[in-house]
Amino acid sequence: MSFFIILFLIIILLIFSADRIRAIYLSWFINGPIALPVIGNGMLALNKTPEENFQLVLYLDKHYGKLYRAWAGSQLMIVMSHPKYTETILSSSKHITKSCEYNMLSHWMKEGLLLSKGKKWLQRRKILTPAFHFSILEEYVDCFDTQSSILVNKLKNYEPNEKIEFHPLITLCALDVICETTMGTSLNAQSGDSAYATAVKDIANSMVTRFFNVLLRLDVIWGLSPQHRMQRNILKVLHQFTENVIKERRSKLDGLVNNNSVESINDVGIKQKKAFIDILLNSTIDGKPLSDIDIREEVDTFMFEGHDTTTSCLLFSLYNIAKKPEVQQKCFDEIRDIFGNDKTRPTEMKDLNDLHYLELVIKETLRLYPSVPLIGRHITEEVELYDGTIIPKDADVIINLFSMGRDSTLYSNPDDFQPERFELDVEKLSHFSYTPFSAGPRNCIGQKFAVLEMKSVIAKILRNFEIRLADDTLNAPLILSAELVLIAKNPLNFHIQPRNYG
């Protein structure tokens, strides 16, 4: 009997490295659900829908506290939802590697800014930061306004008592904005069918399917699945579109530089109205220009990050505004003070900066409904938290922003929608209590862009319409799901009434 015990221990030692054994040992000191060998806590999530899995995460947070451990198969996960814990991770320049779950996004974005790490991430971040300078963002305001106007004109086709699902309309608007500002080309997703827009939707569905399927998460099974073959076809459409835009833009830019024609540059907009892709085309790393593949990685990354997350916040902001008449009235009063009775005057950067109360509404929306409710980091070296808890090397840290935003120890009446709290209570909050755009060195590079775009869209809608929730949305519980972003599983339906300025 002792022989078999010794043999078993030898096998364990051969399978597990010293780091692995230490990780298992340290995990014993962290509270969490009982895990089974090999599958970990996988049984908890088996055969559950994405919304059920999201509710499971929220239940575990309430049951095990602000720091607990779980096992995704053989991968140790440390889940935290309190700023005293998250500050250690997010403020560090060492813990910037994304957690393993992000790897399933790599088929589309490869090693763009979201997924890259180490030196490559640092170099890319450095050259991309100027793309979100105030002077560049100001050039995008016209695009925000134009696409918002197209959305409003589409809404004018609906009758006052007609039920409208805002999600598909907002999605196409956000997609047109990010395509034009990122690639400098018009997708016209709001105006008609677009193969690229369809592919963007399909790739998101494909990634969600794999993310929540225990078997498809295994590379071997995924590679043999029909879903994988379908995803490859979708990626061909996405990558081909981006590559064509890069080649066209590079050719045009090279021609203008060779001709040394400033007037021509202004004519095509490369100097006068610079798109994100132009900054990449003019950038170098170690004296060498970025390759087409390098540029495609970043363009695809911003196409992914720049429309789904914005759509999520826009939709929940409009939901909150429609649900709270007094909030909607304050928003409209502020908008009217800036634009007067003119529903059509183009929006300028100063207008957006002056929309102070609307910004509070967006902030409060992101507290209750963070577009990315869970963010993750892969720990590359052992780290000690403020209370002495040690997180082992190679663990994944999952930061639960959703639960943290509804923590009664951080926010008074946390379930109430109160935009004014960010004006009155801001000094009481620690920097890491509110991080819907993450924080520290790996915070969201496009957060100013996103807030300006959302202000533009919401203000344009409220200048033209009074909005209210349809009865089936107003009287039904909100069913939330964390997929690639936070979404409402039940349709959010609205009624609109043309705004009366009398």
DSSP 240-288: HHHHHHHHHHHHHHHHHHHHT-HHHHHHHTTTTS--HHHHHHT-EETTE
Confidence of residue 460 (pLDDT cuts 50, 70, 90): very high
Residue whose tokens read 């024609």: 261
- 272: pLDDT strictly greater than 60: no
Amino acid 264: pLDDT? 41
Contact predicate 83/52, CB 8 Å = no
The pLDDT score that the predictor gives to residue 209 is 83
At position 190, the amino acid (one-letter code) is Q
Distance CA 454, CA 314 (A): 6
What integer pLDDT is reported at residue 72 of this predicted model? 86
The percentage of residues in the chain with a pLDDT greater than 70, rounded to a whole number, is: 91
pLDDT mean over 214-234: 88
Q: Which of 205 and 272 is assigned the larger pLDDT?
A: 205
CA 82 to chain centre: 20
Lowest-confidence pick of 106-110, 197-201, 217-221, 306-310:
217-221
Res 208 pLDDT > 70: yes
CA distance linking residue 383 with residue 389, whole number of Å:
8
| pLDDT at residue 41 greater than cutoff 80 | yes
Q: How far apart are CA 76 and CA 98, in angstroms?
A: 14
- Contacts of 32-37 with CB under 8 Å at 24 or more apart are 32/60, 32/64, 32/68, 32/69, 32/70, 33/60, 33/64, 33/68, 33/70, 35/70, 35/71
Rounded distance between C-alpha atoms, residue 446 and residue 134, angstroms? 12
Question: Over 50: is that where the pLDDT of 271 sits?
Answer: no
Provide the pLDDT for residue 98. 93
pLDDT confidence of residue 53: 87
∠ CA 363-181-124, rounded to 5°: 85
pLDDT level of residue 260 (50, 70, 90 thresholds): low
pLDDT of 450 higher than 90 = yes
Distance between CA atoms of residues 21 and 42, nearest Å: 20
Confidence of residue 263 (pLDDT cuts 50, 70, 90): very low
Strand 75-80 to strand 396-400: parallel, antiparallel, or no bridges (unpaired)?
parallel
Q: Quick one: tokens of 467?
A: 């909005």
87-103 pLDDT tens trace: 999 999 999 999 988 88
Across 450-478, average pLDDT:
97
pLDDT of residue 7: 61
pTM, to two decimals: 0.91
**pLDDT, greater one: 246 or 4:** 246
Q: Taking phi first (over 0 means left), then psi (-120 to 50 degrees means alpha), and beta for anything else, what does residue 468 get?
A: beta
**pLDDT tens figures, 328-373:** 999 999 999 999 999 989 999 999 999 999 999 999 999 999 999 9
What number is the average pLDDT over the span 8-17?
60
Q: What is the pLDDT of residues 117-161, one digit of tens each?
A: 999 999 999 999 988 888 889 999 999 999 999 999 999 999 988
Contact indicator for 410, 422 with CB cutoff of 8 Å:
no
* Average of per-residue pLDDT across 235-246: 93
Cβ-based neighbour number of residue 280 at 10 Å: 25
pLDDT at 216: 82
